[in-house]
Copies of this chain bind each other. A is one copy, B any other.
Amino acid sequence: MPGMRDSLAEIDRTIHEPARLALLTALSACKSADFLYLQRLIGLTPGNLSSHLSRLEEAGMIWVEKEIRAKRPHTRVGLTGAGREAIERHWQQLQALRDSAARIGASNDDENEY
């Protein structure tokens, strides 16, 4: 059955990790988000969030901007064009994985042998 191994091979583990999947998905819904907002939204410690953001920034999927507002430092984060494309494609790949499994079920009589 073609399809499933291709869908699996294309799964990017940088994106698939649950916290990063949540981060990228949340960021895909807005232009940019504040560090503290993301931290509370996703439920991560500052250290964990920083480390996931660094990994995503290194992969070219997000931009990180530090600014001073009312004398306090703020960190803003947003998806790059590549990041937006990558998270959209990831959800499509997960759907493709699910669809190819459904086709297995439709194409045989319950037992699969090779």
A interface residues with partner B (beta carbon < 8 Å): 1, 4-5, 7-9, 11, 13, 16, 18-19, 21-22, 25-26, 28-34, 36-43, 91, 94, 97-98, 101-102, 104-105, 108, 110-114
Contacts and interface: CB of A to CB of B under 8 A. Distances in A.
A32 to B, nearest CB: 6
A37 B112 contact: yes
Contacts of A5: 40-43
Q: How many copies of this chain does the complex contain? A: 2
Given A29-B102, A29-B104, A30-B112, A22 B43 contact: no
B4 A110 contact: no
Given A9-B43, A101-B28, A111 B1 contact: no
Contact of A37 (B18, B19, B113): B113
Contact of A36 (B33, B104, B105, B114): B114
A53 to B, nearest CB: 15
A33 B111 contact: yes
Pick the 4 closest A-B CB pairs, nearest first: A5-B43, A29-B105, A37-B114, A33-B112
